[in-house]
Amino acid sequence: MDKTEFDLIKSYFAPLTSNYPEAYSLTNDAALISEDPDRSTVVTMDTLVEGIHFFSTDPAEDIARKSLRVNLSDLAAMGAKPKGYTLSISYNASITSEWVKAFTKSLAVDQEAFECHLLGGDTVSTPGPLTIAITCFGSVPRGKCLHRTTGQEGDDVWVSGTIGDSAVGLKLLKKEIKTDNSRAETFLIDRFRIPQPRTLLGIALLERDISQTALDVSDGLLADVNHIAEGSNLQARIISSRIPLSKSFQNVLKNTLDQGIQLAATGGDDYEILFTTKPKNKEKVIELSEELNIPITRIGALTQGKGTLLLDKNNNEIPITRSGWKHF
């Protein structure tokens, strides 16, 4: 590294606080967060490690976006409006000041897009892999948020966007599969590298009382559906043909689409919003989908019982040969 820690902070990180006076341009040991008596603070944290969550060859800009956006996705799953974040980076010897410049420039773009600001953080050196930890702060109406454990019998299960793109993008990057469709390849790899947090969707689901149960799809669709099912002491029944797949996904896996369904259902890193709501709210969901220009698909329902079932068009259970992502 050709700059000192304080040079990096002054040159690249302090400017990220310019619209948040209570960060004091990172000149103090901590920042202030003013409390709003009508709002509750939501806090989440994610750590991304080189070689696990991103590749050493990934552009700094993409690593920055993924690091912040996976946290913003957690806030969205709670129905929270983003406010700010702290950032801790463990640099290894491969990181240069130009890399940091590109990294923070990308953060600045996303800060503006998602209306949040850097509050502070830490930088250290490490002989190990590049590691980025972000703690993100948001807010919800006081005492109110979306939960994982409040699904009710008879609720429909919905999911935003398309599922499985990130998993296929990762396989393309690892050269486990190939395609001659360059446009589809770019789309799928971007879905792995640059998540799209559904911030406005999460806020609307909460504030319009459309849903009280949601999470973001990170461990894999079925694994995350099961979090809701187990937490709500119910069974989730998911119809495989209703799982929304992008045209790029279908094009790349057109010769193995049956196996592709299992990959979509278990791959993870989708960062779409999975939620439940009463059948009577169907029209509200459709209207919200049109308003936000986000596809939202009804993929199943919660019933009496336990666990999560993936069903074919004849309502027969499809055996799952792999599970979702497990950290340990």
For the annotated binding site for ATP, the residues are 121-122, 148, 218
- pLDDT tens-place string over residues 228-265: 999 999 999 999 999 999 999 999 998 887 778 999 99
279 shares its domain with 241: yes
164 plus 55 within the same structural domain: no
CA dihedral (16, 22, 27, 28) in degrees, to 10, reads: -130
Q: How confident is the model at residue 143 (pLDDT cuts 50, 70, 90)?
A: confident
| Structure token digits, residue 213 | 């149960």
Whether residue 165 is found in the same domain as residue 137: no
The domain of 190 spans 156-311
28, 142, 22, 126: which is closest to 84 by C-alpha?
22
Are 129 and 29 in the same domain? Answer: yes
**Model confidence at 327: pLDDT above 70:** no
In 3D space, the residue among 45, 112, 39, 104 whose CA is nearest the CA of residue 73 turns out to be: 45
| 263 to 162, 218, 295, 322: CA distances (angstroms) | 13, 13, 20, 8
Round to whole Å and give the CA distance between 259 and 250. Answer: 11
Q: pTM (2 decimals)?
A: 0.91
Same domain, 108 and 196: no
Residue located via tokens 């919200």: 288
Token pair, residue 75, equals 């806030």
In a domain, 100, yes or no: yes
Residues 6+ apart with CB under 8 A from 186: none
| One domain, residues 126 and 193 | no
The answer as to whether 326 is a domain residue is: no
Side by side, which strands form the sheet with 235-239?
213-216, 273-277, 156-160, 296-303, 235-239, 307-311
39 and 179 share one domain: no
Binding site, by residue number, is: 29, 44, 46, 53, 74, 121-122, 148, 216, 218-219, 269, 325
CATH of the domain at 83: 3.30.1330.10
Neighbouring CB atoms inside 10 A of 65's CB total: 22
Does pLDDT of 56 surpass 50?
A: yes
Task: Give the count of domains, the chain.
Answer: 2
C-alpha to C-alpha distance for 240 and 242, rounded to whole angstroms: 5
Claim to verify: residue 190 and residue 135 sit in the same structural domain: no
Residue positions forming the annotated binding site for Mg(2+): 29, 44, 46, 74, 122, 216, 219
My answer on whether 99 and 191 are in the same domain is: no
Which of 102, 117, 141 lies at the terminal end of a domain, its last residue?
A: 141
* Pair 325, 220: CB distance under 8 Å: yes
Asked if the structure places residue 238 within a domain, the reply is yes
Average pLDDT over the chain reads 93
Residue 317 resides in a domain: no
User: Which distant-in-sequence residues (6+ apart) come within 8 Å of 47 by Cβ?
Assistant: 131, 132, 133, 134
- 314 pLDDT higher than 80: yes
Residue 36 to residues 44, 96, 157: CA-CA distances in angstroms? Answer: 19, 40, 33
H helices of 123-220, in order, are: 165-173, 182-193, 199-207
Q: Is residue 323 part of a domain?
A: no
Q: Above 70 in pLDDT, residue 65?
A: yes
Same domain (yes/no): 128, 199: no
Q: Is residue 150 part of a domain?
A: no
9 and 133 part of one domain: yes
Query: What residue numbers does the annotated binding site for substrate cover?
Result: 53, 269, 325
Q: What is the CATH number of the domain that holds 272?
A: 3.90.650.10
Name the H helices within 208-294: 221-232, 247-252, 257-266, 282-292
Residue 68 pLDDT greater than 90, yes or no? yes
Query: In this structure, is residue 111 part of a structural domain?
Result: yes
> What are 75-117's pLDDT values in tens digits?
999 999 999 999 999 999 999 999 999 999 999 999 999 999 9
Q: Are 251 and 306 contained in the same domain? A: yes
Domain C-terminal end among 112, 141, 170? 141
H helix runs in 138-195, sequence order: 165-173, 182-193
322 lies in some domain: no
Asked if 289 and 295 touch (Cβ cutoff 8 Å), the reply is yes
